[in-house]
Structure 1
Amino acid sequence: MPFETIHIDTLVIGAGQAGVAMSEHLSRQGVPHLVVERNRIAEAWRTARWDSLVANGPAWHDRFPGLEFEGLDPDAFAGKDQVADYFVAYASKFNAPIRTGVDVRKVQRNVGRPGFSVETSEGLIEAIHVVVATGPFQRAVIPPIAPDLAGIVQMHSAQYRNPGQLSEGAVLVVGAGSSGVQIADELLRAGKRVYLSVGAHDRPPRSYRNRDFCWWLGVLGEWNAEAVRPGKEHVTIAVSGARGGHTVDFRRLAHEGITLVGLTKAFDGGQVRFEPNLAENIARGDENYLALLDAADAYIARNGLDLPLEPEARQLPPDPPCLTHPILALDLLEAGVGTIIWATGYSVDYSWLKVDVLDANGKPRHQRGVSSEPGLYFVGLPWLSRRGSAFIWGVWHDARHISDHIVKQRTYLAYRRPSDSLDSPAPAIDPHNSKTSLMGVR
């Protein structure tokens, strides 16, 4: 039901993991706020992922500090619906002020008065601060090389649900990050003939010497790395929690029946051409894998830990024929390919954000989520402050930083010198008490 104009101190746009985390910290610090969400809480986990998807990290790791997954072994991997239910339960834990079914259509800076005007499907919201918590997965990206071919179904991984959804014939999966690898593996197990286009990637071990790779990245300081290493800006990570979790090994996938090809280069009629870089991409993935094993071994030795040896982790399968004699071109009709799945990632979409805060590539200008436009914030984006920023636990910590910043700004906005005119407006707030409301909902 449409509402009359709402006036609030802080508006949070989006009720996924970032929005829920943001609401918790604002609630703890007494900041009047409202969270709006166009669908349901954590909707993307329920309806924008394939049926068998599980979290890529174990339950002890991929969660917020204040709540564990109910009825789930800490070392297990939560299914997508379990993750969505978790965020619903977390939000109810502190009675988060979330209003669903509200689509934000425009955000613009007010002129001659503080704050922002936010046009929504249900009415106008006036807010002093706005936190954009819509995440990085807003618009599925299919590269412009995608052909227009009769008789071949094409879809993004966001549209894929299960093998039964696909028509007869082989499948070309383009993209070898976590989504592409897991989908290709599922299709192979369902009896499909699968071609997997492999680009540059990192592939950490699922576990090593009785510790999950999430633990290793933690103790090695990798989750808190604050800058992307040169050359790693667009490298995907191939990791899987499917079927209890396992290390992604492209050679093993090939020996099981998947045909590996290099990076997809172009389409010419019914033929697709691949870059001659498959061996190079596999080799660099191996280097990343072995480097983490080396770092883990060194950490164990340095700290005197008693963890079991795992020499078999360094034993790589022999190169399959598709690696030693790579396919550089494939006639889709002759190969019987009936479906192309583009596991090629997502981009952000801020077309509704009418504020001068985006760079030439449409990405936010910010420092740890504090944007170049005073009063406007971002949370939930990759590398917002560190490597772990886009992960569940990382979002929670980034949201705390944003909440602290908002509290400080509220104090400055409320400050008033004794010499100020009695006629000048001043917010009804104690500058030494951040829990006093600056503006409530009315």
Structure 2
Amino acid sequence: MLDYIIIGGAQAGLSMAYHLKKMDKDFLVLDGEKEIGASWLNRWDSLKLFTPTEYNHLPGLKFDAPKGHYPTKFEVSDYFKTYVEKNSIPVQLNTLVTSVRKTEKGFHVTYKEGEVEAKNVIIATGPFHIPYTPPCHTKISEGILQMHSNYYKSAAQLKEGDALVVGGGDSGYQILNEISKDTSRKVYFSGDTTVKSLPQQFLGKTLWWWFTIIGFLSYSKYSWIGKKISSFSQPVIGTDVKEILSRKNVICVGRTKDALNNDITFEKSKVSSIKNIIWSTGYRPNFKWIEGLELDENSYPKNYRGVSNIEGLYFIGLPWMFTRGSATLGGVSKDASYLADIISKK
């Protein structure tokens, strides 16, 4: 029986693995992907972090890139691979966990090819689980290409003709920006046009430098300021929303209401010429595979700074687990350090 099983091999799981290694615990990281860093490699090709190098370090190893550089998804993946190698972290890939069950001795962890037991389990699967697509997508003609942003790689995947991007978050605007650069096609946009956008640089300093100075990323979700920040719509960072929406081939149509075959109905109009749809409509959490777990109103595990209601079961990398930075590449380190301190006192 192992001391710990970590489920998930991205930034959250690797940060916890670093601390367990320092504590000389007997542990194993399980990850469902075929290679380290795949959770980043699976995203669109032009993706870059909106945090510069100096804010992307995991514990014990600096991100090897110049200060002020915004890493690509390939650089993040390479960093993770180096991190595993440098810290001799035991990782078992191609291992998709299907259930976690509390036992008298600890936990029984089941996956497709087998099972393993551990005294404790750390869930580090992140906030992005099930890609969500509105129900009306099933009414749309098979002749229209549809994909969730989770599967979007580049504009080369699209068919000729008009396109629709649904969703006004960071990914929605970044994809809208990319595909609307081809002025030969109309790109309809169904999302929040009032969202605030913030530049990556301000008065000679990076946005993240300012966030650090004012403490934006450090306010606890239990504090008055933290509650206020978490209740607001998050700004789009590093993408000029106003410029994109002002392009002649970008047409804002309001909320998507319904669809039937080639006709897609929006708040402002009905459109029949769309040949491509990218649903940048977020994800839904899935923790149903963990027996006996209590969930909150947003279907995330009830916990305090990663400590769950089940003795010996911990979480890391959840959105707003403690602060705004909890689910970010650089911010997860503080949560990992806190959780490691809790573990060391057991």
TM-score normalised to structure 1 length:
0.72
Partner of residue 384, structure 1: 321
Partner of residue 152, structure 2: 160
Asked if the contact 2:186–2:251 (Cα under 8 Å) also holds between the matched residues in 1, the reply is no
CA offset digits 1:339-384 (Å, max 9, x no partner): 1111111122123212233246532010111111111111011111
Asked if the contact 1:35–1:98 (Cα under 8 Å) also holds between the matched residues in 2, the reply is yes
d(CA) in 1 for partners of 2:130 and 2:47? 19
Partner of residue 13, structure 1: 7
Partner of residue 274, structure 2: 337
Q: 1:37 offset after TM fit, Å?
A: 0.9
Task: Identify the match of residue 239 of structure 1 among 237, 240, 254.
Answer: 237
d(CA) in 2 for partners of 1:31 and 1:365? 26
Partner of residue 128, structure 1: 119
1:109 aligns with 2:102: yes
1:91 aligns with 2:84: yes
Q: 1:197 offset after TM fit, Å?
A: 2.2
**3-state SS of paired residue (1:354):** coil
Q: What one-letter code is carried by the residue in structure 1 that aligns with 2:10?
A: G
Partner of residue 200, structure 2: 206
Partner of residue 180, structure 2: 188
1:44 aligns with 2:39: yes
Partner of residue 266, structure 1: 257
Match runs of 1:341-352 below 5 Å: 341-352=278-289
Partner of residue 303, structure 1: none
**3-state SS of paired residue (1:183):** helix
d(CA) in 1 for partners of 2:297 and 2:211? 33
Q: 1:173 offset after TM fit, Å?
A: 0.7
d(CA) in 1 for partners of 2:45 and 2:61? 25
Q: 1:195 offset after TM fit, Å?
A: 1.8
d(CA) in 1 for partners of 2:23 and 2:77? 25
**3-state SS of paired residue (1:235):** coil
CA offset digits 1:191-249 (Å, max 9, x no partner): 33212223263422221100111111110000001124448447243123xxxxxxx33
Q: What one-letter code is carried by the residue in structure 2 that aligns with 1:406?
A: I
**3-state SS of paired residue (1:363):** coil
Asked if the contact 1:170–1:337 (Cα under 8 Å) also holds between the matched residues in 2, the reply is yes
Partner of residue 19, structure 2: 25
Partner of residue 74, structure 1: 67
d(CA) in 2 for partners of 1:267 and 1:406? 50
Q: Using a 3 Å threshold, how does the CA distance of structure 1 residues 137 and 253 change in structure 2: closer, same or farther?
A: same
**3-state SS of paired residue (2:109):** strand
Q: What one-letter code is carried by the residue in structure 2 that aligns with 1:160?
A: Y
d(CA) in 2 for partners of 1:234 and 1:171? 29
Q: What one-letter code is carried by the residue in structure 2 that aligns with 1:140?
A: P
d(CA) in 1 for partners of 2:325 and 2:297? 25
d(CA) in 2 for partners of 1:42 and 1:173? 27
Look at both structures and tell me which one has the larger radius of gyration over its CA atoms.
1
Q: What one-letter code is carried by the residue in structure 1 that aligns with 2:187?
A: V
Q: 1:251 offset after TM fit, Å?
A: 2.4
Bigger drift between 165-174 and 200-209 goes to 200-209
Asked if the contact 1:173–1:341 (Cα under 8 Å) also holds between the matched residues in 2, the reply is yes
Q: What one-letter code is carried by the residue in structure 2 that aligns with 1:185?
A: N
Asked if the contact 1:107–1:355 (Cα under 8 Å) also holds between the matched residues in 2, the reply is no
Partner of residue 363, structure 1: 300
Partner of residue 53, structure 1: 47
Q: 1:57 offset after TM fit, Å?
A: 1.1
Q: Using a 3 Å threshold, how does the CA distance of structure 1 residues 360 and 215 change in structure 2: closer, same or farther?
A: closer
d(CA) in 1 for partners of 2:108 and 2:59? 34
Partner of residue 3, structure 1: none
Identity %: 33
Asked if the contact 1:155–1:340 (Cα under 8 Å) also holds between the matched residues in 2, the reply is yes
d(CA) in 1 for partners of 2:248 and 2:86? 47
d(CA) in 1 for partners of 2:134 and 2:231? 18
**3-state SS of paired residue (1:218):** helix
**3-state SS of paired residue (1:77):** coil
Task: Identify the match of residue 222 of structure 1 among 216, 220, 233.
Answer: 216
Q: 1:169 offset after TM fit, Å?
A: 1.0
d(CA) in 1 for partners of 2:157 and 2:232? 30
Match runs of 1:405-416 below 5 Å: 405-409=342-346
CA offset digits 1:50-80 (Å, max 9, x no partner): 111111211121222533333x322121111
**3-state SS of paired residue (1:185):** helix
CA offset digits 1:272-331 (Å, max 9, x no partner): 222xxxxxxxxxxxxxxxxxxxxxxxxxxxxxxxxxxxxxxxxxxxxxxxxxxxxx1132
d(CA) in 2 for partners of 1:128 and 1:252? 54
Asked if the contact 1:196–1:258 (Cα under 8 Å) also holds between the matched residues in 2, the reply is no
Match runs of 1:259-338 below 5 Å: 259-261=250-252, 263-269=254-260, 270-274=263-267, 328-331=268-271, 333=272, 336-338=273-275
Q: Using a 3 Å threshold, how does the CA distance of structure 1 residues 94 and 147 change in structure 2: closer, same or farther?
A: same
**3-state SS of paired residue (1:90):** helix
**3-state SS of paired residue (1:353):** coil
TM-score normalised to structure 2 length:
0.91
Gaps of 5+ in 2: none
Asked if the contact 2:126–2:316 (Cα under 8 Å) also holds between the matched residues in 1, the reply is yes
RMSD: 1.9
Q: What one-letter code is carried by the residue in structure 2 that aligns with 1:124?
A: E
Q: 1:122 offset after TM fit, Å?
A: 3.3
Partner of residue 400, structure 1: 337
Asked if the contact 1:15–1:41 (Cα under 8 Å) also holds between the matched residues in 2, the reply is yes
